[in-house]
Structure 1
Amino acid sequence: MAAYSKGYKRFKLDRPLSITLTRASILRAAGLGPAQSRQTRNRRELQGALQRLTEPVVKGLPPLVRSIKTMRSGRLRLIIEPKWLPDGNYGQLVWPPPKSGATVLALYLFLGGCRLRSRIDPMAVERLYRRIGIHHLRPSHAERALDHALVVINEHLKLTDADLEERDFPQGVKVKRFENGNRIRFSAVLSTKQKENRRIKIELNKYRPQKEEIDQNRREEEEAERWYDEHDRKRKRRQAREREDYEENGYYDTV
């Protein structure tokens, strides 16, 4: 899973990020098996891929990787450009990602940051095409490319070893088009158990304001009791000191 705990978190980094890891761990994160991650050919291709990331790949942004250094242990130390790191919302992903081309990967990463359970306004489909690298000069071809990528992603989620239901991750993603296909919205496909859990959560949220009011009243009562207890203890200590002063000065309580 991506760096994620509950809900959408925020992440901000204003300096280069240093990462030290092995070549095998990078290849395994990309979806290769243990044996494949040790093959010389794959490691050589990895070196070339990392080297290309030290060059500009997007207009208006510096290279993703500032520098690569091989440590004495054989590990690689990568210095990551902070402008490539998210400074807003980010979500969770099942890893490794699907390995079926750049368009599938781009859509997969895009969906990972979407609020698939919220009825947000649909986005312009041409804007989506630009973001994930689909040429939209021929709308019918672009639509088929998007549909194919979504089918591949849903098949990937079905084959994953991760327990999607236990992690409350969508079982799949469906798409709905608006305005003659000019706008689009993605939504989560949930299991029966996830739908029931969501219904229960909604019902509990209805009673949350009432529960918060009850909790607030209880806290105020407890605070008042502590104040009276402390006030009573101070009164008794003051009376005890006054009694000691009377006795020291020869005055006795005859009552």
Structure 2
Amino acid sequence: MHFVVSGEGQAVVLIHGLFGDLDNLKSLSHELEKTHQVIRVDVPNHGLSEHWQQMDYPLLAEAVIQLLDTLDLSSAHLVGHSMGGKIAMATALLYPERIDSVVAADIAPAAYPPRHQTVFAGLNSLDLVNTTRNSALVHLTEAGIDNATAQFLLKSLRRAEVGFGWKMNLEGLIASYDKLIAWDIDAAPYTKAAFIIRGGDSDYVGAEHKQGILAQFPKVQAKTINGAGHWLHAQKPEIFNRLVAEFVGEQGR
């Protein structure tokens, strides 16, 4: 995985969500790097990382461990948003001896119904050869994607020899989507510290997920950020960053 390292101290790996890249949690990185070594990653099929035709959580967890090995790190804290949170949780469950703690932002260790058909349709139908950034934004919003999400998606648009292309591997993401919304990690519970932060206006983590969370993460703590939705780290960055920094800091004492 492509990565960027900053700061010194105990290692913390930041993992973005679907369609994102390592800049998504940059604000959190600035907070954590005051006391920790922070590694921001591009998940495979995103940013500057390798393109995979198939990706699932065991493979992604293995990629996280390979990154730790590359950096000669015996262990690290993991912080992930959405899909990145599922990657963090899967890694903690499958390689507990390598993970000091896990933070999952607005996601549960659970299977979810498909939510991104409109996004995939809008991205697939964009004429990359004959577009501009402005016309791409218009296209995505006319395809039924809200403006904020469309602006976020266009961060992955880059100039090509002719027209534009996507930094993300759209074909690979579509092929892997069923596995990314699923959850079939069957492992012993992760008995170290875990933290789930949910957005009060989001439906990604609800009462129906409580039993499944406790079954796999019995020492979990939970907080709700009111007035924030699924993009809680961008909507309420000061509160989100403080909660994560306090939690990670406590695990190092």
TM-score, with length taken from structure 1: 0.21
- Bigger share in helix: 1
Larger RCO: Structure 1 or Structure 2 (Cα < 8 Å, ≥ 6 residues apart)? 2
- Higher CA-based Rg: 1
